[in-house]
Each structure stands twice: as C-alpha cells, then as structure tokens.
Amino acid sequence: MTTTTQPELTSSLTMRATPDRVWAALTDADAVRAWFAEHAEIDTRVGGAWRFWGRYSLGVPSRDAADQTIVAVEPEKLLAFTWTWAGVPTRVEITLEPDEWKEFTMGSAPALRPNAPGCKVTVRQTFEGTLPYPRPESLADDHWRLSIANLFAHLDGAEVSLVDHADPSPEVRTSIFVEAPPSTVFRTLTEPELLNQWIGMNARVDPRVGGGFDLGWMGCGEEGKTLPDLGMSPMKILELEQDRRLAISWPDWRGDERVPMQKVTWDLTPEGSGTRVELRHTGFVRAVDRSDFFQGWTGFLETMASVAKNA
C-alpha cells in the first residue's frame, strides 16, 4: 500500500443560505446527523466536542474512535477542530464568508434559479503525517466534496446522499420524471445539439455500441482555468437501446489511470404523460470515490428534463 504525505487540503463551495443558517447547520447535532454523520455530539466551545462517528464517517466507525475536539470558535465565521485520521493527527478549519450564490450551468443550459445571498464555506484540513491510503489526496478531497455538497443539499431542502463507507459496491442512483416521451428524452441524451444545452460543450457522439461519446469538456474550466486532460474523450457507448437505455464508460475525472473505468447508465421508462429516467453511476473502488457525483447528476438531470420538455 502506498503512503503519501498530504500536508494540506482546501475545498470550498458557496451555499444558497446566509452565514447564520450555515452556522446553525454546523453546530446543531441534529442538523449534523442529517447531512454529515450517523451520530454526533457537539459542545460549541474551545475544548468541547465536535464529535461524529458511525457508518457515514470515514475511519470513525464507533464512538470510541471519535476524538474530534474544538480548538477555535468564532460564531458564524470559524469552527476548527482536531481529528485523528487513520492514526495521523489533523486539524480541520471551516470558515464562513458572506457571498453571492450563482447558478452554474454547462454549455447553453439555462439557469434554473436566480442568484441569491449566500455563504462561502471553505474547509481546510492540515495533516501532521502520512496517510496510509492508496491515492490519499483524492480520498481526502472527495470526502470533503461529498460532505460540503451534502451540507448544501441540506440547507437547500434537497435530498442528502450519505455514503456508507463499509459498502462493498458503492454507486450513485437517482431518477427524475420528464414531461416528454421516451423518444424525445433519448434524443436529449444522444444528439449533440441537445446535449450541449444541459451537459456538453461541443459534444460529439457516434451513436452505436463502441462509438465515442465526447462531451467536449476539455478547456472549459470555470474562471478561465482549463480542465485537466481528464480522459473524457475515451468515453465509449457500452449499451444502446433506442428510446430505452444508454450506457457509457466513465473515466476517472482526475485522469488517474490507476482508477478503473466506471459506468453511467440511463434507463427510460414510460410513465403517465412522460418518462421516468433512472440514472446509475457504478464502478467506484471505494465509497468515498462517489465524491459529489450525486448532487452533480441530480443537477444535470433537472436541466436535462427542462431541455427535453422544450425539445
């Protein structure tokens, strides 16, 4: 097993909520149990506990393993605590800053919601040793991407997707009803001009099993940054059933060749006046590798449903 020194990790996301609401979600044990952990105990003072454990907590299966202790508190601004992670002492700082929440869309996808007052949440975790995990940098990053995305969903009244770290076959599964027939939804999934309205950037599709499925994401990073060469071009169509199913290969989004290819499947079923679309993203090596895919796919499906309805 490879060990790697991981001195610091930073992750941030702007919530569609004011700092006081975010602070309440961080410091109320019931709220923390809703978006972060199976069990939680909180005593919001220096020396008090911000303790969590259970099946949704990475490396903390029981209360005996939960040693998290608060080391700094500034209401509605900063919460910092220590956390021993696989024998490595770490410090986690969660900072809150007023910000404007902005809807992010891909390609020509329409914004579904207006901008709103928000709060930028930044998590900074520092490590005092080496983490005994394969790919430790991505593991830590995915853990906080998942956690912050769940905090956003909790504050937004949306579905939270907690991950059981003992699950031997982790997957992302979500569904949506689309007010359009299966034939139209299928076109929305396979025709480049429609893909570009909800997920693609100059998409290209060879509509056959074994054909290429390129969303054209390279060079389209936010804030002028180019996305790394993520290996999105090698995506291939694995299954294709007209108006019923589309399955594609899905490479590691970081371009890490050590990570096995994953699979994304859309199943279309007639339902009432429209179509039930079920999405499954499978092939994750470990539960935390699910990262924030659930929220990402949920958001994409919402926009896809709008595009299909008007196609």
| pTM to 2 decimal places | 0.87
State the DSSP H helix or E strand holding residue 41, giving kind and residue range, or none if neither: strand 39-42
Residue 180 shares a structural domain with residue 105: no
As a whole number of angstroms, the distance between CA 231 and CA 163 comes to 26
Identity (one letter) of the amino acid at 118? G
As a whole number of angstroms, the distance between CA 264 and CA 253 comes to 13
Residue 35 shares a structural domain with residue 91: yes
R_g over Cα of the chain = 20
Q: Which of 214, 184, 186 is nearest to 199 (CA)?
A: 214
- If one counts the domains in the chain, the total is 2
Helices within the chain (DSSP H only) = 19-27, 29-35, 136-156, 182-190, 192-195, 293-309
| Residue whose structure tokens are 């509605």 | 76
Domain of residue 120, CATH code: 3.30.530.20
Residue 162 lies in a domain: no
Per-residue pLDDT of the chain (311 residues; tens, 9 = 90+): 334 445 688 999 999 999 999 999 999 999 999 999 999 999 999 999 999 999 999 999 999 999 999 999 999 999 999 999 989 999 999 999 999 987 766 555 666 677 788 999 999 999 998 888 888 889 999 999 999 999 999 999 999 999 999 999 999 999 999 999 999 999 999 999 999 999 988 899 999 999 999 988 754 444 433 344 444 447 999 999 999 999 999 988 887 888 999 999 999 999 999 999 999 999 999 999 999 999 999 999 999 999 999 98
Residue 95 lies in a domain: yes
Identity (one letter) of the amino acid at 20? D
Residue 45 shares a structural domain with residue 85: yes
What one-character DSSP code corresponds to residue 287? G
SS3 content of the chain, % helix, strand, coil (to 5): 25, 35, 40
Identity (one letter) of the amino acid at 165? H
Residue 266 lies in a domain: yes
Question: Whole domain around residue 126: which residue ranges?
Answer: 4-156
Q: Which residues on neighbouring strands pair with residue 245, listed in sequence order?
A: 241, 267
